[in-house]
Amino acid sequence: MSAFMAVYLREILILKRRLKRHLAGQAISPLLYLLTFGCALGGSLTMDGRSYSEFLIPGLAAMASVIQGFSLAGDINVARFYYQVFDEIQAAPVNSLAYVLGESLAGLTRVFLAVFLVIILGWLFGVKLYYGPFFWLALVLNGLAFSALGVAMAMLVKSHADQSLLTNFIITPMSFLGGTFFPIESLPAWAQNLLWLLPLSHAAKATRAEAFGLPPDINNFLVLALSLALFLSLAMWAVGKAKA
């Protein structure tokens, strides 16, 4: 068995033991958003010629790829500081690339579970869209990118409390400002220029275009691919620094 698969399967075995609680936790946020925003606004508000509920589902899927990918950092953080799992991995023949790929793949698995829940909840609320290959490609790129970023941050923080601060000051604002709940094009030009720097903005636009049957914008996928390469490189550097 390759080293990265060993890392991945360890995370999957842990996820399997917590699966019911994990799925219940993943379902809460999209369910609340659909109830409050979708039901309250979905029938009276349109976005790009679509009901607000239809506009919301791809955005929630893109947001899930950020939150669930990055949430891996919390588990790595606990395992590293409280159970010394990272020390055991250091003693094993697992290089930095294998560790980052294994953890990132585990994060992507969480992303898929969350996205499937969003789609199922959307279907229960009467939202039926097209979930074609570009929809999934955008989520794979974004999910892997933020899983890798989660690995990097888990290696760089000095305590579990620091990890919570990163989530509160980086991931949460990005989740609300990255085109999830409103079109970025409706904002002033200076705000648009800032928000288009966020990978989530491109993931939301790409998933929404595919879900609506619109032609894909290659620039969205280029930004997501560059973000993935950047965050993977950062994660490998951080893991190497933590091993030193």
Residue 213 has pLDDT above 60, yes or no: yes
Please give the pLDDT value at position 42.
56
Please give the pLDDT value at position 3.
79
Q: What is the 3-state secondary structure (H, E, C) of the chain?
A: CCHHHHHHHHHHHHHHHCHHHHHHHHHHHHHHHHHHHHHHHCCCCEECCEEHHHHHHHHHHHHHHHHHHHHHHHHHHHHHHCCCHHHHHHHCCCCHHHHHHHHHHHHHHHHHHHHHHHHHHHHHCCCCCCCCHHHHHHHHHHHHHHHHHHHHHHHHCCCHHHHHHHHHHHHHHHHHHCCCCCCHHHCCHHHHHHHCCCHHHHHHHHHHHHHCCCCCCHHHHHHHHHHHHHHHHHHHHHHHHHHC
Please give the pLDDT value at position 83.
65
Return mean pLDDT, the chain. Answer: 87
Please give the pLDDT value at position 146.
95
| Structure tokens, 37 | 């925003």
pLDDT band of residue 183 (cuts 50, 70, 90) is: confident
Parse the chain into domains and list their residue ranges. Answer: 3-243
Residue 206 has pLDDT above 90, yes or no: yes
Residue of 156, 174, 168, 179 lying closest to 236 (CA atoms): 156
Please give the pLDDT value at position 91.
66
Calculate mean pLDDT across residues 164-174: 80
Please give the pLDDT value at position 160.
67
